Structure 1
Amino acid sequence: MDSPAPGAEKPCIFLLFGDDTHAMESFVHGMIARMGDPGMAELNTTHLDGKIASDEDLRTAVSSLPFLGDRRLVILNHPLARTQGAEGKKRFLALLDEVPPFTALVLLVEDQPFRGDWDTLRAGHWLRKWVAEAGPRALERVCGLPTPGDMPGWIQKEVRKQGGTISPEAARALAAAVETNTELATQEITKLLTYVDGKRAVEAEDVDLLCAPMGQGNIFDLVDAAAEGRTANALRELHTLLEFQDPLLVFGMLTRQYRLLIQAREILDAGGGAGEIAREMNQRDFVANKLVRQARRFSMNDLKAVYHRLLQLDEDSKSGQNDLMTGLDIFVAGA
């Protein structure tokens, strides 16, 4: 499943965290692909949610022998939900110490940047310390979204990964269209490479023809209306976006916008202004000015509460508790 140096100890615990959920999903999909036959891989893969699974569920999953294979893969979302209180943390660490070499336990933690670090798994967090001290038994992977300035390079790398080529101008044009949405960028790259059919590099004209921009202005208008209590206007903006975009992409746009506002609010709270936001967040001046105006409508606690509501909406839609379209309506009505 993994590819350490010959004779080296394979990691048993993988800690993946950050705000690039697409990167985390890709990492996990790569692990599953390396398990060989898809049918056997499915038999040897267990998905658990730390908010629902019991300690016994987790202990059984990690200790069960693989079926006709070398390793079992256990994927645990929301692992920190199993660590409430001193006793919960103690039990969880004991379980990590007992993970056998035939099991790969993947811990997935969605997080967001905050004050130059991460909101939950900060540099001194006990779980990150445990991973660092575990040596070759554990591996940490930070999955952070690229900055707008890094996005063209990320796109060029992904194009090469998919077996194609793209001009620098086209990479910049696609970055402008998708912003830092790596999942959307991956989809658009696949579409562009299919269009050119491997006969030539993707050019800026192809991006203009096939890739619609995400619609930054409408997102600003939507958040403005929601912040001011103009619910009818906010819902109208939402439904306009949904006429042209898939609900999943609109959700990504909303999530990104509130993440930008958290970063902008942090800079404002530290005494900065539009200039610092433009420079530190690598945004154009007109976007920085809009972020200042909008971030001042919220406190940091308000923004973090809204962001956590978005994370809950994502969880509910993935678990089938609520469809995303309805969830977006409810979110905007209560924002």
Structure 2
Amino acid sequence: MSQTVHCFDYLDDATGEVPGVAVVYGREAILARLALRQIRHVVVGGDEEDVPVARLEGKTAAWRDVIDEVGTVSLFGGGSRRLVILDGADDFVSRYRAELEKYVEKPKRSGVLVLVVENWPKSTKLFKKLDATGLQVDCNLPEKKSGKRSVPDAKALHDWMIKWAKKTHQIKLERDAAEMMVELIGPELGLIDQDLARLSLYVEPNGKVSANLVRDVVGGWRMKAIWDLVDAAVEGRTASVLEDLDKLFSMGERPQKLYGQIAWSLRRYAAAARIYQRAQRNGESKSLRNALADAGFPNWPKALDEAQQRVKRLGSIRAGRLFQQLLKLDLSLKGTHSHDDRGRLALERLFVGFSEELDPRHATADRR
């Protein structure tokens, strides 16, 4: 059985004894900190004083000093094994790889050695040995398989955010709010944690945090400007949209960052169209207003009236194409249009496609 586990899973179920050698690896500092805290709790308990714990710096530590620390029996700590944490251990692993490969086969019973590294290739002997006999906690963003490639696992990230918000900040983060946070600030777990703390100030303990609150608190004026821009684009006010987009670029905004908020807003229109069209095909009596509410638009009369007019103006053909358009745009911004100038052109082309002149219903009428 593999002893390599993602940090999200380890925090959920950190049962059993920590083996003599453990590795905490990856680029997410907040996850590494949480994993180390959990390992410390399992090895030496919750006592914050007089516990047998040593922290060494990997760049300067010598092999003999580290092993001596692991073997030292503390005068305090009530019989707990000694815990030795080696921070920034990438260089240490490179210098003492042969010694580590030998040590992991028969580690000292008196203590636990924890290596904290950023890079930990799966192809190495150390990885394979510890995958069988040690503990390896992956502190990178979660990934999943898509064909032969590994891609970010958005659902796992959103699930963790919801759990973390409840456990640490005593708030109920709604799923669409979690999705919006990632769209707004990216999958930056440290920033996400900071903004969850800030959001907790706006609701009662165990209160709900909605996407609207995230938009106002996390997005602020910038998000409102982008929402207004998207609404104007769907209404066909193309010239005004391109002017506002130019202002955002002149303020230093990058196409890839703007895309996240633009896409989040447009997906609501796409989702509403899909919900409504599916209901029509199945013979269900669902109004467009109800479909808009189901898609996440604010459920009050004025907002639904305005959104309904925009969807009707957009038309079923363009609304039905939106999901595919956004997927292609996302891929192009990560590939052929990753340069700022080309990314800007791609966003402008998206908005021009909402203009009255390019409405496919007119083209159909002309052919008649």
TM tier, smaller: 0.5 to 0.7
For 2:217 and 2:41, the matched residues in 1 are separated by 30
Deviations 1:90-147 (A, max 9, x none): 2223333453233221112213xxxxxxxx512x32111111342xxx1122222143
- Partner amino acid, structure 1, of 2:217: L
Answer yes or no: is 1:82 the counterpart of 2:92.
yes
What is the match of residue 129 of structure 1?
128
What is the match of residue 25 of structure 2?
17
What secondary structure is seen at the aligned counterpart in 2 of 1:187?
helix
Check 1:22–1:10 CA distance in 2 against 1; reply closer, same or farther (3 A cut): closer
Q: Could you tell me how far 1:208 is from its partner in structure 2?
A: 1.7
Moved more, 284-293 or 21-30: 284-293
Check 1:60–1:4 CA distance in 2 against 1; reply closer, same or farther (3 A cut): same
Deviations 1:291-330 (A, max 9, x none): 2247689xxxxxxxxxxxxxxxxxxxxxxxxxxxxxxxxx
Answer yes or no: is 1:197 the counterpart of 2:204.
yes
Contact 2:166/2:206 (8 A) holds in 1: no
Contact 1:15/1:139 (8 A) holds in 2: yes
Q: Which has the larger radius of gyration?
A: 2
For 1:77 and 1:47, the matched residues in 2 are separated by 7
The equivalent position to 1:161 in structure 2, one of 151, 160, 167, is 167
The equivalent position to 2:46 in structure 1, one of 16, 20, 36, is 36
For 2:92 and 2:103, the matched residues in 1 are separated by 11
For 1:97 and 1:65, the matched residues in 2 are separated by 21
Contact 1:50/1:82 (8 A) holds in 2: yes
- Partner amino acid, structure 2, of 1:157: K
For 1:98 and 1:64, the matched residues in 2 are separated by 17
What secondary structure is seen at the aligned counterpart in 2 of 1:99?
coil
What secondary structure is seen at the aligned counterpart in 1 of 2:25?
strand
Q: Could you tell me how far 1:49 is from its partner in structure 2?
A: 2.6
For 2:76 and 2:62, the matched residues in 1 are separated by 27
For 2:206 and 2:93, the matched residues in 1 are separated by 53
For 2:88 and 2:103, the matched residues in 1 are separated by 16
Answer yes or no: is 1:178 the counterpart of 2:188.
no
What is the match of residue 149 of structure 1?
154
Contact 1:20/1:145 (8 A) holds in 2: yes
Structure 1 unpaired stretches of 5+: 112-119, 216-239, 242-252, 254-277, 298-335
Contact 1:76/1:108 (8 A) holds in 2: yes
Normalised TM-score (structure 2)? 0.50
For 1:159 and 1:84, the matched residues in 2 are separated by 38
What is the match of residue 149 of structure 2?
none
Aligned alpha-carbon RMSD (Å): 3.4
Q: Could you tell me how far 1:181 is from its partner in structure 2?
A: 0.8
Q: Could you tell me how far 1:196 is from its partner in structure 2?
A: 0.9
Check 1:65–1:295 CA distance in 2 against 1; reply closer, same or farther (3 A cut): farther
Check 1:78–1:94 CA distance in 2 against 1; reply closer, same or farther (3 A cut): farther
For 2:208 and 2:93, the matched residues in 1 are separated by 50
For 1:95 and 1:64, the matched residues in 2 are separated by 16
What secondary structure is seen at the aligned counterpart in 2 of 1:211?
helix
Answer yes or no: is 1:108 the counterpart of 2:116.
yes
Normalised TM-score (structure 1)? 0.55
Deviations 1:258-277 (A, max 9, x none): xxxxxxxxxxxxxxxxxxxx
Structural mapping, 1:170-319, within 5 Å: 170-198=177-205, 200-212=207-219, 284-293=327-336
Instruction: Give percent identity, aligned residues only.
Output: 20
